[in-house]
């Protein structure tokens, strides 16, 4: 089993560390009422307690809703995290502008994304919502051109070994691979300086929506990357490889044939777009009355 997935599984099954500072607790019951899985209850004194550990999904709504920060959850105190009141959030117009101006980038500059910027973004992906709070996603990142070149070399080598084994390859894969090997256009990875592969293991008992979890994480990465001036492009090509030649990804990435995953290319854009496009007419809206 992937080491990161094993860590997540252990984290999800380890006993919940739920503590309440009874001297600070208002006994308001907000945490008990907001627990969607009825893991909490009010004690005789009115202080909340964890009465059913098996029901706790570690969503931490109890921790987040407490008005005075009396709850400590898995060792984290209210003073350790961000206070929501008064923080700066994008308004509706800013979000609309981002959605309309977003472009899929297929021409990348030669520079790598700064490691500290990329690391900050990847750590924020831990906030991605997952079905039943499974938190069983793995983020495999090729962060720079050196890593991408090694990945592409392994990819092309796997293709060549596949052909040498007298196995047929689809033309859409074989011909562009030959061109890339000969220094031609890279229609697979578009010259991106980095690649993020988000995967989920649906064999784990807590995972109920593996592909949906992956897709949401990719969307969050795109949002965060663009906010940091990083261009992105969803890489459907690797999903097509998994569908038609799955043994290649098993060999290169260790991804099982049925693994739920998606990949996103990223890097600094070599293109600066001047305006948005109009797509309002593309939305097929049906109101039911």
With the CA atoms of 222, 228, 232 and 238 taken in that order, what torsion angle do they form, in degrees rounded to the nearest 10? -60
Q: Residue 73 — left, alpha, or beta (φ > 0 → left; ψ -120 to 50 → alpha)? A: beta
Classify each residue of 235-263 as buried b or exposed e, where b means 16 or more C-beta atoms within 10 Å of its C-beta. bebbeebbeebeebbeebbebbeebbbbb
Taking alpha carbons only, the member of 251, 250, 204, 227 closest to residue 5 is 204
Q: What is the Rg, in whole angstroms, of the alpha carbon atoms belonging to the chain?
A: 23
Q: What is the pTM of this model?
A: 0.89
pLDDT of residue 8: 44
What is the structure's pLDDT at 166?
62
> Can you give the pLDDT at residue 13?
58
- Residue 12's pLDDT is 55
**Phi, psi values for residue 139, rounded to 5°:** -110, 100
Residues comprising the chain, all counted: 289
Confidence at residue 217, expressed as pLDDT on a 0 to 100 scale: 98
Q: Note the pLDDT of residue 14.
A: 74
Per-residue pLDDT at 162:
85
Task: Using a pLDDT cut of 90, give the percent of the chain over it.
Answer: 80
Q: Residue ranges of the chain with pLDDT lower than 50?
A: 1-10
Q: How far apart are CA 78 and CA 20, in angstroms?
A: 11
Is the distance from CB of 159 to CB of 174 less than 8 angstroms? yes
């Amino acid at each position: 089993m992937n080491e990161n997935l094993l860590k997540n599984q252990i984290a999800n099954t380890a006993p919940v560390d739920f503590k309440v500072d009874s001297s600070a607790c208002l006994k308001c019951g907000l945490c008990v009422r907001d627990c969607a899985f009825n893991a909490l209850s009010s004690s005789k004194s009115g202080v909340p307690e964890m009465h059913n550990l098996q029901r706790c999904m570690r969503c931490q709504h109890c921790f987040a809703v407490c008005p005075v920060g009396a709850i400590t959850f898995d060792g984290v105190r209210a003073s350790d995290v961000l206070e929501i009141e008064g923080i700066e959030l994008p308004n509706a117009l800013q979000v609309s502008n981002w959605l309309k101006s977003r472009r899929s980038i297929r021409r990348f500059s030669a520079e790598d994304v700064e490691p500290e910027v990329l690391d900050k973004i990847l750590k924020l992906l831990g906030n991605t919502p997952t079905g039943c709070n499974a938190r069983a996603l793995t983020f495999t990142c090729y962060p720079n051109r050196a890593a991408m070149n090694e990945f592409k070399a392994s990819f092309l080598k796997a293709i060549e070994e596949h052909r040498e084994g007298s196995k047929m390859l689809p033309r859409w894969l074989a011909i562009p691979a030959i061109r890339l090997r000969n220094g031609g256009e890279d229609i697979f990875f578009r010259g991106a300086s980095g690649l993020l592969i988000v995967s989920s293991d649906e064999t784990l008992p807590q995972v109920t929506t593996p592909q949906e979890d992956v897709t949401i994480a990719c969307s969050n990465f795109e949002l965060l990357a663009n906010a940091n001036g990083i261009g992105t492009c969803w890489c459907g090509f690797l999903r097509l490889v998994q569908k038609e030649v799955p043994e290649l990804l098993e060999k290169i990435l260790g991804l099982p044939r049925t693994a739920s995953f998606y990949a996103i290319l990223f890097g600094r854009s070599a293109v600066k777009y001047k305006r948005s496009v109009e797509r309002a007419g593309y939305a097929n809206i049906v109101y039911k009355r």
